[in-house]
Structure 1
Amino acid sequence: MLPDGAVGAEYDHLPVGGGSDNFSGWMATNLPPGLSIDPDTGLISGIPAPSTSNQEYGDITVSIFDERLAQSVEFDCGPLLINERINANAVRNEPLHCIPHTASKAEMIAILEGGDGTEITCSAFNESTLPCPLGDGNGRLPPGISLDEGSCTHTGSVTGDVRGTWVWMVGIEQSGFKTRVPFCASNQTDSFHEITVIANGKEVSDLLPVSFDFDPNMGLLFGDGAYEWQIDDPACSNDPSLCSSYGFSFNVTCSPFDQPFVLNGMSTTTGMAHGMTLAGPAPSAGFATRPFVHSLESLYCTSNNGASCDVDGPNFEQNAQTQYHFSVVGYPLL
C-alpha cells in the first residue's frame, strides 16, 4: 500500500534463473501518475498524484534485463494500492467547523479522512509576515494557547477580553505528505455590546465560525448581503440619543480573499450594524486540496459624543467598548 506522499517499494522476488547482481535496465509500464522506477535498482518511488479515494492499479508490468541469460524478462507487479491522501475535509461537519483545541491526537485522527495509518506528526505555523492577500490562510493562534508539537495537542485556554472564536491551522505530515487542519477555541467573555449575528435571515451564535465551501477553480465570494452583525449598546434601548454616533475598526489575517475587504457600517437606534463582503480570484494551486482560515478582529464604539468614537482620533482604541474575533473557514469542493 502506498500513501499519497513520498513512497518507495522494492521487489522481494525476482524471475527464476537470475540473481540480484545480474539484473539491469529496470523499466515499468502503467505506473500510477507521479511514480517512477529507478533503472539501476528497480526502486519505485515518488509522490502519487492527488487522489480523493483509494485507487488500485493492477496492470503494471515490470521488465528487466538478465545479463546472465542475456535476455529481457517481464513480470506483473500489483495490484498496487494508492491510498486517499489524509485530509481535513470532514472537519467541516464538526459543530464549529473546526477541531476543538481540547482534542487529543487520537480524536483528531478519528475526524480526518484518508491516510495510510502510519504515524502523523504536527507542527505550528508562525503568524504570516506577508502582506495581504499573499498570506497563507493559517489564521491566528489565540493568546493563552500553545501547541505541543510532540503530542499534537494544545494546552491552555484563551486569555484576554476579546470575545469570539479563533481558528488556526496546524500542519500535519504523514508518509511525506503535508497538509493543514483547522483547530479552534472560544472566549465566551461578556462584551459591553450585545452582538447578534444574522446569517441568511436566521440568528446564529456570535461564537460560531462560518464554514465556506469554495470551488478551487472559481473566484471567491463570501457574505455579500447574507451576513449582518447587530452591535447593540445596552444603554440605548431606552434612550436612542445615547447612540447618536458610532465607530469601528478591524484587522484581518491574510488568506486567498483579496482586498478590498468591505464592512458596510450603519447607525441604528440601539447602536450600529454592519455586513461583510469577502472576495478574491481563484486561489493558488496550494489551496485546491486543503482548507484555509480568514479571521477578522473588530473594535466597536457607540456614544452620543462623535469625537470619542472617531476612528481617526488618538483615543479610539481606549474608547471602544467591545473587542470581537470572528473567523471564516474555507473548504475546497473536491
Structure 2
Amino acid sequence: MPSVTEPKLISGNANQPLAGAISRRMSMHRGVNVGLVDARVERFNDGEIFVEVFENVRGEDMFIIQPTSNPANDNLMELLIISDALRRSSAARITAVIPYFGYARQDRRTKARTPISAKLVANLLTEAGIERILTMDLHAAQIQGFFDIPVDNLYASPIFALDIAHHFKGKMNDLMIVSPDVGGVARARELAQRINAPLSIVDKRREKPGEIAEMTVIGDVTGKSCIIVDDICDTAGTLCKAAEVLIEKGAKEVHSYITHGVLSGPAVERITNSKMKSLVITDSIQPTQPVLDAKNIRIVPTAPMFAQAIMNIWHGTSVSSLFEHGTLAPIYEGMYTVGA
C-alpha cells in the first residue's frame, strides 16, 4: 500500500460551502493544500445519481462530507454512491462526515407496524463500504449503537458556550438555559453547566402530532434572559410557542441555540415574527436564502471543529478532546473574544 501523505476530502452536493470551509481550515493547519478531490456528482434525466472521481484514491484515507438533509433521500443516495465509487477505487479507509444525520428522529418504533429507519440507514452506510462515521448532535445518542463501526458524535454545546460567553459578556448572571421539552433536558443541562447558568424546562403536552395542547414552565424565569437549547428546529412551532410562554412567565428576553436548522415550511416566517430576539444555528445544514436574509437568525461555523476532528481521526488521536473548552477555544481563536 502506498504511504498516505495527507487526508483526502470529497464532497457531495448537500453542503458544499461547509466542505470548502473544512478544506480551507485543514489547509491552514497542515500548511499544505488539502483540497477537495476533483469529482462530479450529477443526475441523469431520470433522477439517477452518477459519480465519477477524477483523482487517484488508491490507498488513501478518504473523508466524504455530506449531511443527509433536505432532500434527504437524494443526499443519502449521493453519500452511498460516492462511498461505493471510492471502495471500488481501492481507498484504504472511508469515513462519512455527516454533520446532520437525517432519519435520526425515526430511532424507535412509536407504534405498531412502523419502521426504525435510523437503523436501516446505518445498515445502508455500512454496506456501502463506510468504515467510520463522524457526525454532530445525533437526535438520539443510542443511534451510535445501530452501527458496528466507530461513530464519533461531536457536540455543538462547546461552540455555543463560546458564542454565549462572547455575545452575553457582562450579562452571564442573568442567563437561564431552557429545555423546550423533557426529552432534551440532558442536552440543556450540559450547556448550563458549561456556562454556570441555572436550568428551566418547558413541559409540553400534545393532543395529536403537530398540535401542542399545553405548555408549562418548570422553574422561575422572571427577569431572566432565557436561552432555549435544542438539537433540531424543523417547522419552529414548538420553539416559537415556548418563547411566547416564557415571555408570559416574566422572562426579559428569549434567545434560542439550535444545532440543526432544518427550518422547513413556515419556519423562517414564524421565527421572524416570533417573540424570540435571536435564533442561533450552525451551518451543519446549508442555509437557504430566506434563512440568510432573516434579521433574527445567526449562523455559527462548525468547520473549525470538523476540520480538527478529521485531523484527529487521521492522526489516530482523541476526538473527545474537542468537547473541552481548553482544546476548542484555540481552534475558534479570532472568532470569539471569550469572557464573562
Q: Same fold (TM over 0.5)?
A: no
Say which structure is richer in strand: 1
Higher relative contact order (CA 8 A, sep 6+): 1
TM-score, with length taken from structure 2? 0.27
Which one has a larger percent helix, Structure 1 or Structure 2?
Answer: 2
In the superposition, the TM-score normalised over structure 1's length comes to: 0.27
